[in-house]
Structure 1
Amino acid sequence: MDYEEGDRVKVEKSGVEYEGIVMPSTTGHIIIKMVSGYNAGIEPEGATVTIVQKKSDMEASAKKAVKAEIKPKKGLPKVSILSTGGTIASKIDYRTGAVTSQFSADDILQAIPELTEIANFSGKAIYNILSENMKADYWQELSRAVVEEIKNGADGIIIAHGTDTMMYTASALSFMVDTPVPIVFVGSQRSADRPSSDNAMNAICAAKVAVSDIAEVTVVMHSESSDDKCSIHRATKVRKMHTSRRDAFRSINSEPIGYVEYSTGDITTGLSYIKRNERELTLMDSIEPKCALVKFTPGSSPDILGYFIDAGYKGIVIEGTGLGHVSTDWIPQIERATSQKIPVIVTSQCLNGRICDRVYDTGRDILKAGAIEGEDMLPEVALVKMMWTLGQIQDYDDAVDILKQDIRCEINERSLE
């Protein structure tokens, strides 16, 4: 057969006809991506394959196609979309059959024209990566781009980001930027060519928040598995809690700031928040990348902590058990770290609830060794806060004081039932 990957074909077998783009196959079956977004695998024996359009012809047509110009509308606010990659800016790459980040911010507007009724958008690709490739220096580059857009008159910022590490980047920007306008992170669990994609609804809800008066760094994603509403999560209290569900993101130890109804665009809020123009724009983007998040497991060696101390790490966050415990074998290494002016924060693997190292003897010994109670901070947020704090402050005692304070609602004063 003379078809190849990327060609559009019709496959007829046993009286049934399938049409789609040929994808890579490792089984010998004919694999095609159908218009519905789903894949079909057809046993080639007895099948008739007709080429509808060659890949090269489709590529040539795409190059000739002229995108419709999106003209600004009078009276609408200005919103900047900064694209970093991720599934919301992804599509199937038929060279590999994998989902890859290939869309620019302008492509997002072309794909979701409803956005143009909410605001006038400008787009910029800061980088184009899947979120597992995110690095601390990328946070700095992104924070500087956000500040530049606000200085240039943006009334709100939308950041398209991969979901797997979005909570890290969102919390980093919440510490790095004092913002007078909304900064909204948005992503999707399923790529645009899937019929169950959540990208359009999430983006539209994010745009509604970007033009609202919620001048904080937030994450806006599906609130439920159905297409009813999106949650507005505070950046320092949100966590991805499922690998693939559309409502994977949850606020931990907090309710969401509010919700966006998809059908109406109405926003309802339940928590207090910083309002538009209450803060002056400030950039604090210095960061210390040599900080570690260490998960304690039963029987794990204290040499793990020793490695990070000897390797010159500047701060350590420990994800302990329950109320914030590690083996008594680990306590000398904690004391060694703090005696060398390396801050150590203890958080909990339980996620929900807060640290209290005053209940059991081990916890009291951890505190005597100089560790900082992480209160109800998420371990990932504690790590980002550590990196940011040590980037701003070199004095150990001053840094410890900041790490104990609530800076961006990452620590609740008290835990409710």
Structure 2
Amino acid sequence: GGTGAVIPAFTPGELYGAVPELADICNLKTEKLFGVFSENMGPAEYITTAKTIGREIANGVDGIVIGHGTDTMHHTAAALTFMVQNPPVPIVMVGSQRSSDRPSSDAAFNLRCACNAAANGQIAEVMVCMFGPTSDAYNLLHRGTRVRKMHSSYRSTFRTISDIPVATCTPTEVKPLRKDFTPRRKDRQVKIDARFDDRVAIVYYYPAMKPDIIESLIDNGYKGIVIAGTGLGHVNKPLYEPLRKACKMGISVMMTVQTLWGYVQMFVYDTGRDLMELGIVPCSNMLPEVAYIKLGWVLAHTETREEVAKMMLTTVNGEITEREPHDGYLIFQGGLPEIEEFLKRGLR
């Protein structure tokens, strides 16, 4: 839905009419699952989408493209990564930042790249396919558990966090950037594990947060809380007591970092050690939104805190990585001479 409908067409004929180049890339079969803005996507839609993917894989498709609004595409990508495990074919999510009736629209190029990645690419994972640079030179394929929308309007809004993308992609070529991707297979085997417990919340910590924020989650029957903590994974002391209460009541509390890049490291300072003693589980470098999605998925399997913690820290596909590569954190600042020179060379 939203701009992420990509092209306002739903039959193969309408798509070929809107983007004639698709006929040179693949044979399309289309199915409309939902007509909603992406902020209205949720567990029911994740489950239906995962089951539909399983059915289409069994029917023999060579790849799957999912048109999706960009606002919550990274949430759905994470959910499908956990619900559709070890697929034999590419599952490519695609959207557009600018609608197809605008001259600057990225819709057609994104769709052509996504269809090529799904039909001809060799990477059989859940991925997001969107602009790489600000122009239509190429798209990037991002792993579904490491991607995030990072700008409200740029066409190159999606970025891989704390790692590098899986590949670059054009309408005619897919170039892997890494060797550890899951390759395409000829079999039809896939593990569909489509379930979700929505009694989960993200708490974005801020200074002077009061205990009643946590207490309200306890009182309303939530079974899982993901905290986006400051620095290495911290919150203030007034939250200690309700967090202790939550853990004692069997609620699973996970810690992530609101810096997005980097790791939770709760052994460094007293605050972190105190929070672990309360029962809070550090989630390494899992992104807060990914931790939220995974915790909902895990709680649909078990509510036992020890088992939840074990499943959360067992990697399905890249949501936790052993280390951040040297080029996994690149945020340039404008105004610096070396950056201005770099930009001039890149824009020639």
Candidates 49, 63, 71, aligned match of 1:142: 49
- Match of residue 104 from structure 1: 10
Candidates 390, 393, 402, aligned match of 2:299: 390
User: Counterpart of 1:143 in 2: which secondary structure?
Assistant: helix
User: Counterpart of 1:125 in 2: which secondary structure?
Assistant: coil
Shift of 1:90: 6.2
- Match of residue 112 from structure 2: 204
Asked whether the equivalents of residues 6 and 94 of structure 2 are also in contact (C-alpha less than 8 Å), the reply is: no
Q: Which amino acid aligns with 1:327?
A: N
Q: Which amino acid aligns with 2:163?
A: S
- Match of residue 319 from structure 1: 228
Matched, 1:125 2:32: yes
Counterparts of 2:11 and 2:214, CA distance in 1: 42
Residues 394 and 300 (structure 1 numbering): CA distance in 2 closer, same or farther, change over 3 Å?
closer
**How far does the alpha carbon of each residue in 1:324-371 deviate from its partner, in whole angstroms, 9 at most, with x for none?**
110011122221111111111111110011110111111110111111
- Match of residue 101 from structure 2: 193
Candidates 330, 355, 363, aligned match of 2:272: 363
- Match of residue 58 from structure 2: 151
Q: Which amino acid aligns with 1:103?
A: A
Q: Which amino acid aligns with 2:126?
A: V
Counterparts of 1:341 and 1:387, CA distance in 2: 15
Q: Which amino acid aligns with 1:366?
A: L
Q: Which amino acid aligns with 1:217?
A: V
Higher helix share: 2
Higher strand share: 1
User: Counterpart of 2:268 in 1: which secondary structure?
Assistant: coil
**How far does the alpha carbon of each residue in 1:244-286 deviate from its partner, in whole angstroms, 9 at most, with x for none?**
0000000001100010135x43423324111112883111011
Asked whether the equivalents of residues 89 and 108 of structure 1 are also in contact (C-alpha less than 8 Å), the reply is: no
Counterparts of 2:293 and 2:135, CA distance in 1: 32
Counterparts of 1:244 and 1:109, CA distance in 2: 27
Residues 185 and 368 (structure 1 numbering): CA distance in 2 closer, same or farther, change over 3 Å?
same
Matched, 1:252 2:161: yes
Matched, 1:86 2:2: yes
Residues 183 and 322 (structure 1 numbering): CA distance in 2 closer, same or farther, change over 3 Å?
same
User: Counterpart of 1:308 in 2: which secondary structure?
Assistant: helix
Counterparts of 1:183 and 1:142, CA distance in 2: 11
- Match of residue 198 from structure 2: 289
Matched, 1:169 2:76: yes
**How far does the alpha carbon of each residue in 1:291-310 deviate from its partner, in whole angstroms, 9 at most, with x for none?**
00111111111210111111
Asked whether the equivalents of residues 256 and 271 of structure 1 are also in contact (C-alpha less than 8 Å), the reply is: no
Gaps of 5+ in 1: 1-84, 92-101
Counterparts of 1:115 and 1:157, CA distance in 2: 14
Asked whether the equivalents of residues 294 and 316 of structure 1 are also in contact (C-alpha less than 8 Å), the reply is: yes
- Name which one, 1 or 2, has greater alpha-carbon Rg: 1
Q: Which amino acid aligns with 2:66?
A: I
Deviates more, 1:105-114 or 1:197-206: 105-114
Counterparts of 1:230 and 1:383, CA distance in 2: 27
Matched, 1:406 2:312: no
Asked whether the equivalents of residues 88 and 192 of structure 1 are also in contact (C-alpha less than 8 Å), the reply is: no
Q: Which amino acid aligns with 1:414?
A: R
Counterparts of 2:35 and 2:270, CA distance in 1: 49
Residues 144 and 405 (structure 1 numbering): CA distance in 2 closer, same or farther, change over 3 Å?
same
Shift of 1:204: 0.8
User: Counterpart of 1:206 in 2: which secondary structure?
Assistant: helix
Gaps of 5+ in 2: 327-348
Asked whether the equivalents of residues 115 and 204 of structure 1 are also in contact (C-alpha less than 8 Å), the reply is: yes
Counterparts of 2:275 and 2:188, CA distance in 1: 38
Matches within 5 A, 1:339-350: 339-350=248-259
Matched, 1:115 2:22: yes
Asked whether the equivalents of residues 338 and 369 of structure 1 are also in contact (C-alpha less than 8 Å), the reply is: yes
Asked whether the equivalents of residues 90 and 125 of structure 2 are also in contact (C-alpha less than 8 Å), the reply is: yes
Candidates 149, 173, 193, aligned match of 1:265: 173
- Match of residue 300 from structure 1: 209
Counterparts of 1:333 and 1:404, CA distance in 2: 24
Q: Which amino acid aligns with 2:5?
A: A
Counterparts of 1:232 and 1:292, CA distance in 2: 28
After superposing on structure 2, the runs of 4+ consecutive aligned residues of structure 1 that deviate more than 4 Å are: none
Candidates 221, 228, 234, aligned match of 2:143: 234
TM-score, normalized by length of structure 1? Answer: 0.75
Asked whether the equivalents of residues 215 and 242 of structure 2 are also in contact (C-alpha less than 8 Å), the reply is: yes
Asked whether the equivalents of residues 181 and 214 of structure 1 are also in contact (C-alpha less than 8 Å), the reply is: yes
- Match of residue 331 from structure 1: 240
Counterparts of 1:197 and 1:324, CA distance in 2: 39
User: Counterpart of 1:124 in 2: which secondary structure?
Assistant: coil
User: Counterpart of 2:29 in 1: which secondary structure?
Assistant: strand
Alignment length (residue pairs) = 322
TM-score, normalized by length of structure 2? Answer: 0.89
Counterparts of 1:260 and 1:337, CA distance in 2: 46
User: Counterpart of 2:39 in 1: which secondary structure?
Assistant: helix
User: Counterpart of 2:245 in 1: which secondary structure?
Assistant: helix
Whose RCO is larger (CA < 8 A, sep 6+)?
2
**How far does the alpha carbon of each residue in 1:113-143 deviate from its partner, in whole angstroms, 9 at most, with x for none?**
2112111110000011111111211111111
